[in-house]
Structure 1
């Protein structure tokens, strides 16, 4: 009986130590997710405005830029996967990796060769464990991404997109990341980054232009080609930076929920083991009393 009580108390101490860790991680995630949300809100208007500007230049000019031109035959497709550097975030990493697997299967069913680009240690370990090849990797900043990280990723992607497929280039670029909707909702999402897709408000104008309809006149200074050369790399970097910020906020929100759930489960376990330890202690006391009473009765009968 005493050994059972010691075991319950040891389990209580172990669960209590785990509870302290999960509680601390919950508070850290809660403090960081606020800044991450603010960063997402601050970057989204710039990303949307830059997308509108690039789409307008691409729609109302006759310049065929490498980053906006559809390839006649798509042989190689790049898939950029944004995952976390750490676990303990519920289903965050599993969801984005499952979405990337569905995208990879769809692209391969279309006869395209998939070239993965991995962001985050969880995505890297997922591919390394399965002995899969990938083109490039970045890690160490999933919770606190900066624009320099986005610029580094975008420069590699643009360089591979503009290169010939025979020398390792790609014909299109897809991005798989987790969009931050709210503290309780984060959704894995797929977007095609390159070649540039015209945003919805310019879609009708692009179709009318293709049908030969008269279009409004726009003046581009110095010229449309130089504007696209300047705007498109910034557009790619801004979109990737926004994806990084969305993923960071989603990761922190998912970790906060997961750690809160773990803390609540630890409290329930502590209550359970405390109750079992009390029951074992009560049973031990009852047994001792029974032994004393039995011994006293035996002595009385012997006299």
Structure 2
């Protein structure tokens, strides 16, 4: 067997081994997407409900002041919480998040606000270290299956920085899960919370609220929970998006490996045919010499 044929067959075996790995990772990611999507769908109603409740309380109270609702007169610093993955092999998932982060940082600096970075996920932390960007705090180990305790830990850190006036705003950069085929890196301001005014008059009599305890005490309890919910939602959507991106990346890698195996097989067949032809010519030549 010729050296070229041996090398080609060795490459085929190597690609086949790689294809088994990418195929297995594709199947694992596909099985995890559904569970992650269910967690996103289960958390969304609560996030919408607590947001609506805060808006109702803030709208119903005539005079209400709370640091998480108020926009400070001249904001000079902004916390930027970035959600990335702990592992790679997820296509452009992390690159899209960091691109959106860079755009947000430019916007904040143009507005005269100095950003302070907080990162969830090893990939984001590695990127920022490479770019020599200081990170105030980072969290690892739960990007694929975040828990509420993880979100609470992050939210407590962000709220403390805001209450202590280390930052005047809190922004989040994460990947919004639209569907298994569509995910969008997005930037959103968490704090100060924007209270949306209702444009349409409600049907029937306008509800009258009796607060017990006071609206201030109610919001003091609800607003930190609101930030926790927003952080948790960002983590859940990012986890589902990570699984979807990894499934697509591994599917593409498996298809590319299959195409490469077919190409190498053709090369191996051609090399084998050349060897056979050469052997036949040698036999014929030897027979003619003896004849």
TM-score bracket, normalised by the shorter chain, equals: over 0.9
Give the count of matched residue pairs.
285
Query: Where has structure 1 moved over 4 Å in runs of 4 or more?
Result: none
User: Which residues in structure 2 correspond to 1:214-229 (within 5 Å)?
Assistant: 217-229=208-220
Aligned residue for 2:174, secondary structure, equals strand
Q: Deviations over 1:125-170 (max 9, x none)?
A: 0011122101110111000000000000000000000113xxxx10
1:1-303 mapped onto 2 (5 Å cutoff): 2-61=2-61, 62-164=63-165, 169-199=166-196, 202-204=197-199, 217-300=208-291
Q: Distance in 1 between matches of 2:198 and 2:174?
A: 25
> For structure 1, which runs of at least 5 residues remain unmatched after alignment?
206-214
Give the drift of 1:299.
2.1
Label 1:203 to 1:76 Cα distance change in 2 as closer, same or farther (>3 A). farther
Q: In the aligned structure 1, how far is the partner of 2:243 from the partner of 2:169?
A: 30
> Secondary structure of the equivalent of 2:15?
helix
Structure 2 gap ranges (5+): 201-205
1:3-43 deviation digits (Å, cap 9, x = unpaired)? 00011111011101110110111011011111000000000
> SS at 1:280's partner residue?
helix
TM-score by length of 1: 0.91
CA distance in 1, matches of 2:64, 2:184: 36
SS in 1 for 2:112: coil
Q: TM-score, normalised by structure 2?
A: 0.95
